[in-house]
Amino acid sequence: MAAARGIAVKSIKDTGWIKGGFFGTNISKKSFLNWANGGTNNTALVANSSLFAIYHSANDKCIWGNYLDLAFGVIRNGGAKISLTGTANDGKTNPFVKNEDKLVFTTKYGRKITAKLNYAALFNLKTQIFPGWTADDILRQNNHISNFLTQGNGVLSVGIDFKPTSYFSIYFSPFTAKYKVVREQRLADLGSFGVKAAEYSDTTGGKPLIRIKAGETLRKEFVWHANIFFKKDIAKNINLQSRLDLFNNYQNIGQNIDVNC
């Protein structure tokens, strides 16, 4: 097993920007030989990065924080060749498959009301970077089921930000637009990720279906939104970061609260 990690923080006094970031990689290989409890050989690679750029105005009345989190990982279970005797895939190259993939971007602008309370506006986008396939389609013989901005979850809101310390904040917005994007029409037509699927005409005589209404590629909701954010160095070269998002559609107030963390 091997790992690499880097942390950098830079303060530029003449511009008001504080910039920093973290990058880490982890490579692991596990092998089992005549192990009584069983086990599967596997090789895995994971890379992740967390970057930030925070601006403070000269009078310290305004703060603008930008955060980007990226992660990508692959794993191969078993050996270099597929061992499925009697099947068409026996002996084929055993590929690495994706086991982690995320892109999260957040930007938040705040203007002070008091020392610990701000007016704030926030935009957040969560998606993945590369195409994804079902778990049993390791050879990618069928169409992918997800991709960049398929799905993508976006939030645009204005509210109040309570920041008692430099590393902890609670944000609440009663005025939030929540978006779900399914960029690829093929998957939108299937109703993937909870969007409305395409509508088709009835058929007779074995004729193919005719699409009369395309599946929606964008779903919009008006919700309240709460965000709890914690980011702090808890030891040398160790940074703890945690985020919790709560959403509730005003059409179902108090019910079906979405939780992201």
Q: What is the pTM of this model?
A: 0.84
Q: What is the pLDDT along the chain (261 residues), one digit of tens a residue?
A: 556 555 555 555 666 899 988 899 999 988 877 666 667 788 999 999 999 999 988 888 998 999 999 999 999 988 888 877 777 878 888 999 999 999 999 999 999 999 899 999 999 999 999 999 998 888 999 999 999 999 999 999 999 999 999 889 999 999 999 999 999 999 999 999 999 999 988 766 667 788 899 999 999 999 999 999 898 888 887 878 888 999 999 988 878 888 887
Q: What is the pLDDT of residue 215?
A: 96
What phi, psi does 131 have (nearest 5°)?
A: -60, 155
pLDDT of residue 16: 87
Q: What pLDDT does residue 162 have?
A: 94
Q: What is the pLDDT of residue 249?
A: 92
56, 66 in Cβ contact below 8 A?
Answer: no
Q: What is the pLDDT of residue 182?
A: 97
Domain boundaries, the chain: 2-260
pLDDT number for residue 99: 92
Question: Residue 244 region, left (φ>0) first, then alpha (ψ -120 to 50), else beta?
Answer: beta
Q: pLDDT at position 203, please? A: 66
- Residue 25's pLDDT is what? 93
Q: What is the predicted pLDDT for the residue at 192?
A: 95
pLDDT at 11: 58
Residue of 256, 226, 248, 18 whose CA lies nearest to 122: 226
- Spatial distance between the Cα atoms of 127 and 232, rounded to a whole number of angstroms: 25
Q: What is the DSSP string of the chain?
A: -EEEEEEEEEEETTTTEEEEEEEEEEEEEE--SS-TT----EEEEEEEEEEEEEEE-TTS-EEEEEEEEEEEEEEEES-SB---TTSTTTTSB---EEEEEEEEEEEEEEEESSSSEEEEEEEEEEE-SS-B--TT-TT--S--SBBTTEEEEEEEEEEEEEEEETTEEEEEEEEEEEEEEE--HHHHHTTGGGSPPPEE----TTPPP-EEEPPPSEEEEEEEEEEEEEEEEEETTEEEEEEEEEEEEGGGTTSS-EEE-
